[in-house]
C-alpha cells in the first residue's frame, strides 16, 4: 500500500513537471504603497500568458512589499528551491540592484518589466539581463528635450533620493541644457511637499520638472495645485499613469508628460491589448501594464524559437525581439535596453475618466546614454 | 533665502507638527493610561482617510466626510479594543507589538480587499482651496492654515477634556494607579474602551484632514506612525503636553532641516553634492533631535516614568 502511494506521488510529481516545462518567477510589489504598479505589471503579464494558450508555462508570483531584503530572499528561494528559469517583475530600482546582479550571475535570465537603473545599463550590464521597459533616464531625457523645445530656460527639478531619482534628474539635465533654478532630492515615500513648493515659489523658475512615482506624485500635484504657484509642470509618465490620475483629479489636467507607451498608439497589438485588458480587469491599462504585457510576449516569442535550457539560443531569440509590441516596432540596443520613440502626452478628461493623449514625439528612436560602456 | 520663505517654511513646519500631534496624542494617551504600545494606530489613520474619501465621493460634503472619518476610526478603535487589545493589557510589550502588528496587516489587506489597490480621490472642498495672502505678502494655502487652526482647536479641546472634566480626572487617575481607581468603583473596562476610541478618533481625523492634500492609499499610516513614536519619545511617554511640544519640534525640525541643511552645505561644497548630503542629513535630523533630547532627559521632555 505504502509503495503504491509513493508510486502515485511520484507519478503526480512527474506529471506536474512534464506540464510546466518553463518556470517563470515574478517578484513584484503587490502590497503597501507601491502595489498599484506591481499589480498592473502582473495583470499585463498574465494577460499575455493567458492569451498565448500555452499550458507548459508556470508563473510563480511573490510580493516583495517594496523591501530590498524581502526581494533578495524571494529571489534566492526562486532560484534555489523553485528552480525557475527566468525571473521578472521588479518595479523599484533599489530592489532591482539588490536582485538582478546576483540572479544573472547564477546563470538565470532576468527580464525587467520596469526598473532600468543606469548601473545595469553601462559597465554593469549582463548578457542574461534584458530590460523591456526603458533605461531609467529615458523618459526624463524626453522630458528635458520637450522642455528645451517648449522654450523653458530655467527649471526647478525634484526627485526622491534613490537610484531611479538620481537617474531621473541626470536624464532631464542631459537633454534640457537650460539653467536650473533649483535641484532638490526628497525622501522616498515623502507625502508632504509644502517645503519644496515654497522653494519653488521663491526660486524664480519658469518651469517645474518632477519625478515622483505612485502616491508621492498624487500628494505633490494636489498640494501644488492648491499652492497658487502657477508655473508649468513637466514630468515622466510615472506621475500620470492610469492608476493614479483618478486620485489626482483636475489638478493634473493639461500637464505634459513623457511616455514610451499610451493607449492611443495605433497598432493592432495595442488596440487589442487595451480592449482585452479592459474586458479582463475592468479598468484601463497603464504603461506598467503594457510593459508587463510586452515582457511576457517577448518571453513567449523566444520560447517559440528555443528552449531556455539552451541558454545561448534562447538569449539570441530574446535579443531578436521578434514579437509584436504594444509600442509598435521594438528593438534592443547592444546593452539589451530598448531603442524606442518616446512621446509627449497631455492629461485629458474622457467623460468621467482622466487619461492621457499623445500630442507629439519628444525623442525619436532614442537609445540610452550608457550603451557604449557596456561590454558583454 | 528671503524672510518670506523662512516664514512660509515655519508655517509648513507648524502645520506638519499639529497633524503629528493628532496622531501622537492618541498614541501617548493609550500608552499612558493602558500601558499599551499600539502599532495599529497608523491603520486607524488610514481608516479615517478611507472613510472620508468614500463619504466625500458619495455625498460631496467635506464636513460629512470628516464626521465619517471620526466615527469610523472611533468605532474601529472601540471594536479592536474590545476584541483584541483588551487581552493584551497584562501582557509583555513584545506580545502587544506582535498582536498590534498583526492588526496592521489585517487592516491593510482588508482595506485593499474593500477599496482596491489604487489610491482614492479625496480633495479639498472649494471653500477651503487656493492660497490666501497673509500680512507681509506671503501667499499660503488656506487649507493648511485651516489645518493649523483645527489641530490647535483639537489640542485645546483635549486639554479641556483631560484637565477640566470628570472623564479627564478618571483618565489621569488611571495613568497614576489603575488598581486604585478600579477599587474606587470606576468601571475601568469602559474607561479603557473610551480612551482607546478617543485616541482612534483623533488618528482618524488626522488621516482625513491630511488625506485631502495627500494620497489616500493602503499603507499611508505607517510612515506617520514612526514619526508619531518619535514625537512621544521626545515629549515623554504618556504626556499630552509633551506630545504637543514634541510634535511641533519634530514638525519644525523636519521641515526646516530639509531646507536649510542643503543650503548650509552649499556654503562649502559644490551644489550637487551639497544637495545630496544635505537631504540625507535632513532625513536624519529628527532622529538626531530625539537622541539629543534623550541624552539630556532620558524620560523625554515631560515624561514621568522611565
Is residue B234 in some structural domain?
no
Q: Chain B contacts of A215, Cβ < 8 Å? A: 119, 214-215, 217, 220
Which residues have C-beta within 8 Å of that of residue B33, sequence separation ≥ 6? B171, B174, B175, B191, B192, B195, B238
Question: Is the confidence metric ipTM above 0.85 for this complex?
Answer: no
B275 touching A, CB under 8 A? yes
Answer yes or no: do B16 and A192 touch at CB < 8 A: yes
Is residue B87 in some structural domain?
yes
B213 touching A, CB under 8 A? yes
Q: Chain B contacts of A214, Cβ < 8 Å? A: 215
Q: From the CA of B115, how many Å to the nearest CA of chain A?
A: 12
Q: Chain A contacts of B141, Cβ < 8 Å? A: 194, 223, 226-228
Q: A208 has which bridge partners?
A: A156, A233
Q: Chain A contacts of B210, Cβ < 8 Å? A: 191
State pLDDT tens for residues B229-268: 999 999 998 888 999 999 999 999 999 988 888 888 888 8
Is residue B233 in some structural domain?
no
Suggest the residue from A197, A205, A226, A281 to mutate for an interface test with chain B (most B CBs closer than 10 A). A226
A227 touching B, CB under 8 A? yes
Q: From the CA of A216, how many Å to the nearest CA of chain B?
A: 7
Residues B294, B295, B301: CA angle, nearest 5 degrees: 40
For residues A205, A207, A212, A216, the Cα torsion angle rounded to the nearest 10 degrees is 70
Rounded Cα distance between A40 and A317, Å, is 26
For residues A353, A354, A358, A362, the Cα torsion angle rounded to the nearest 10 degrees is -160
Q: Chain B contacts of A218, Cβ < 8 Å? A: 119, 214-215, 217
Q: Chain A contacts of B130, Cβ < 8 Å? A: 226, 228
Rounded Cα distance between A124 and A133, Å, is 18
Measured between CA atoms, the residue of chain A closest to residue B108 is A32
A306 touching B, CB under 8 A? no
Rounded Cα distance between A361 and A363, Å, is 6
Residues A143, A147, A150: CA angle, nearest 5 degrees: 135
Is residue B296 in some structural domain?
no
Closest residue to B121, CB basis, from A196, A214, A246 = A246
Answer yes or no: do A228 and B131 touch at CB < 8 A: yes
A353 touching B, CB under 8 A? no
Rounded Cα distance between B210 and B192, Å, is 27
Is residue B236 in some structural domain?
no
**To which residue does cell 498608439 refer?**
A265
Burial of A198 (0-12, 13-18, 19+ CB in 10 A): buried
State pLDDT tens for residues B143-181: 999 999 999 999 999 999 988 999 888 888 887 887 888
Q: Chain B contacts of A196, Cβ < 8 Å? A: 258
**B23: containing domain:** 12-217
Is residue B303 in some structural domain?
no
What is the pLDDT at residue B130?
87
Q: From the CA of A24, how many Å to the nearest CA of chain B?
A: 24
Split at pLDDT 50, 70, 90, the class of B283 is confident
Q: What is the pLDDT along chain A (376 residues), one digit of tens a residue?
A: 455 455 444 444 444 444 458 999 999 998 876 788 999 999 999 999 999 999 899 999 999 988 999 999 999 999 999 999 999 999 999 999 999 999 999 999 999 999 999 999 999 999 999 999 999 999 999 999 999 999 999 999 999 988 889 999 999 999 998 999 998 888 888 888 988 998 999 899 999 999 998 788 889 998 998 888 989 999 999 888 887 888 888 888 989 999 999 999 999 999 999 999 999 999 999 999 999 999 999 999 999 999 999 999 999 999 999 999 999 989 999 999 999 999 999 999 998 899 999 999 999 999 999 999 998 8
A68 touching B, CB under 8 A? no
Burial of B269 (0-12, 13-18, 19+ CB in 10 A): middle
Answer yes or no: do A187 and B124 touch at CB < 8 A: no
Suggest the residue from A157, A167, A192, A224 to mutate for an interface test with chain B (most B CBs closer than 10 A). A192
CA–CA distances in Å: residue B278 to residues A161, B47, B251:
11, 35, 18
Is residue B279 in some structural domain?
no
Measured between CA atoms, the residue of chain B closest to residue A32 is B219
Q: Chain A contacts of B5, Cβ < 8 Å? A: 198-199, 201-202
Pairing of strands A338-350, A331-332: antiparallel
Window B:240-259, CB contacts with A under 8 Å = 255, 258-259
Among the residue ranges A4-18, B78-92, B265-279, the one predicted with the least confidence is A4-18
Answer yes or no: do B144 and A194 touch at CB < 8 A: yes
Q: Chain A contacts of B112, Cβ < 8 Å? A: 31, 35
The structure's pTM equals 0.83
Q: From the CA of A164, how many Å to the nearest CA of chain B?
A: 14
Question: How many folded domains does chain B comprise?
Answer: 1
Closest residue to B259, CB basis, from A32, A195, A244 = A195
Domains and CATH numbers, chain A: 2-134+266-332 (3.40.50.2300), 137-259+341-373 (3.40.50.2300)
Is residue B170 in some structural domain?
yes
Q: Chain A contacts of B259, Cβ < 8 Å? A: 195, 198-199
Answer yes or no: do A222 and B258 touch at CB < 8 A: no
Amino acid at each position: 500500500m505504502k509503495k503504491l502511494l509513493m508510486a502515485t506521488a511520484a507519478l503526480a510529481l512527474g506529471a506536474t513537471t512534464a506540464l510546466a516545462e518553463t518556470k517563470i518567477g515574478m517578484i513584484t510589489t503587490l502590497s503597501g504603497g507601491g502595489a498599484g504598479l506591481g499589480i498592473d505589471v502582473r495583470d499585463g503579464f498574465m494577460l499575455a500568458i493567458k492569451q498565448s494558450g500555452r499550458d507548459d508555462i508556470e508563473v510563480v508570483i511573490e510580493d516583495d512589499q517594496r523591501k530590498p531584503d524581502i526581494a533578495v530572499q524571494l529571489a534566492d528561494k526562486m532560484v534555489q528551491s523553485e528552480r525557475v528559469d527566468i525571473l521578472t517583475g521588479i518595479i523599484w530600482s533599489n530592489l532591482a540592484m539588490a536582485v538582478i546582479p546576483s540572479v544573472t550571475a547564477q546563470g538565470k535570465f532576468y527580464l525587467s518589466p520596469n526598473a532600468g537603473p543606469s548601473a545595469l545599463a553601462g559597465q554593469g550590464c549582463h548578457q542574461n539581463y534584458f530590460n523591456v521597459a526603458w533605461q531609467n533616464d529615458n523618459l526624463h531625457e524626453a522630458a528635458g528635450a520637450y522642455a528645451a523645445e517648449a522654450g523653458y530656460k530655467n527649471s526647478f527639478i525634484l526627485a526622491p533620493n534613490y537610484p531611479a531619482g538620481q537617474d531621473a534628474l541626470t536624464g532631464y539635465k542631459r537633454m534640457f541644457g537650460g539653467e536650473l533654478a533649483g535641484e532638490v532630492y526628497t525622501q522616498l515615500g515623502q507625502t508632504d511637499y509644502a517645503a519644496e513648493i515654497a522653494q519653488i515659489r521663491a526660486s524664480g523658475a519658469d518651469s517645474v520638472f518632477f519625478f515622483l512615482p505612485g502616491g508621492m506624485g498624487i500628494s505633490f500635484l494636489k498640494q501644488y495645485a492648491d499652492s497658487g504657484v502657477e508655473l508649468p509642470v513637466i514630468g515622466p509618465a510615472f506621475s500620470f499613469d492610469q492608476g493614479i490620475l483618478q486620485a489626482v483629479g483636475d489638478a493634473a489636467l493639461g500637464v505634459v508628460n513623457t511616455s514610451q507607451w499610451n493607449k492611443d498608439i495605433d497598432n493592432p497589438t495595442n488596440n487589442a491589448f487595451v480592449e482585452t485588458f479592459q474586458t479582463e480587469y475592468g479598468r484601463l491599462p497603464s504603461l506598467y501594464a503594457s510593459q508587463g504585457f510586452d515582457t511576457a510576449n517577448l518571453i513567449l516569442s523566444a520560447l517559440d524559437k528555443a528552449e531556455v535550457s539552451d541558454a545561448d539560443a534562447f538569449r539570441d531569440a530574446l535579443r531578436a525581439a521578434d514579437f509584436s509590441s504594444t509600442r509598435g516596432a521594438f528593438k534592443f540596443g547592444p546593452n539589451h535596453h530598448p531603442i524606442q520613440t518616446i512621446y509627449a502626452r497631455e492629461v485629458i478628461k474622457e467623460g468621467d475618466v482622466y487619461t492621457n493623449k499623445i500630442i507629439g514625439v519628444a525623442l525619436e528612436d532614442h537609445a540610452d546614454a550608457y550603451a557604449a560602456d557596456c561590454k558583454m | 533665502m528671503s524672510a518670506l520663505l523662512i516664514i512660509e517654511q515655519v508655517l509648513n513646519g507648524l502645520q506638519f507638527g499639529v497633524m503629528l500631534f493628532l496622531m501622537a496624542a492618541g498614541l501617548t494617551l493609550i500608552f499612558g493610561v493602558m500601558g499599551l504600545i499600539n502599532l495599529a494606530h497608523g491603520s486607524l489613520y488610514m481608516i479615517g482617510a478611507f472613510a472620508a474619501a468614500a463619504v466625500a465621493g458619495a455625498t460631496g460634503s467635506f464636513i460629512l466626510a470628516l464626521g465619517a472619518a471620526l466615527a469610523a476610526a472611533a468605532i474601529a478603535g472601540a471594536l479592536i479594543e474590545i476584541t483584541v487589545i483588551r487581552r493584551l493589557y497584562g501582557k509583555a510589550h513584545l506580545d502587544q507589538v506582535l498582536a498590534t502588528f498583526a492588526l496592521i496587516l489585517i487592516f491593510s489587506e482588508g482595506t485593499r480587499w474593500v477599496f482596491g489597490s489604487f489610491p482614492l480621490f479625496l480633495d479639498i472642498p472649494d471653500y477651503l482651496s487656493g492660497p490666501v495672502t497673509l500680512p507681509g505678502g506671503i501667499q499660503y494655502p488656506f487649507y493648511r492654515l485651516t489645518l493649523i487652526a483645527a489641530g490647535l482647536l483639537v489640542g485645546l479641546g483635549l486639554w479641556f477634556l483631560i484637565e477640566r472634566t470628570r472623564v479627564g480626572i478618571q483618565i489621569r487617575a488611571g495613568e497614576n494607579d489603575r488598581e486604585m481607581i478600579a477599587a474606587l468603583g470606576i468601571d475601568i473596562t469602559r474607561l479603557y474602551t473610551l480612551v482607546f476610541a478617543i485616541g482612534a478618533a483623533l488618528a482618524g481625523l488626522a488621516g482625513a484632514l491630511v488625506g485631502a492634500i495627500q494620497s489616500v492609499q493602503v499603507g499611508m499610516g505607517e510612515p506617520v506612525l514612526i514619526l508619531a513614536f518619535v514625537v512621544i519619545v521626545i515629549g515623554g511617554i504618556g504626556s499630552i503636553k509633551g506630545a504637543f511640544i514634541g510634535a511641533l519640534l519634530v514638525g519644525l525640525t523636519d521641515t526646516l532641516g530639509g531646507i536649510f541643511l542643503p543650503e548650509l552645505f552649499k556654503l562649502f561644497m559644490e551644489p550637487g553634492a551639497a544637495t545630496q548630503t544635505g537631504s540625507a542629513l535632513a532625513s536624519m535630523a529628527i532622529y538626531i533631535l530625539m537622541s539629543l533630547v534623550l541624552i539630556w532627559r532620558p524620560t523625554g521632555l515631560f515624561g514621568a516614568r522611565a
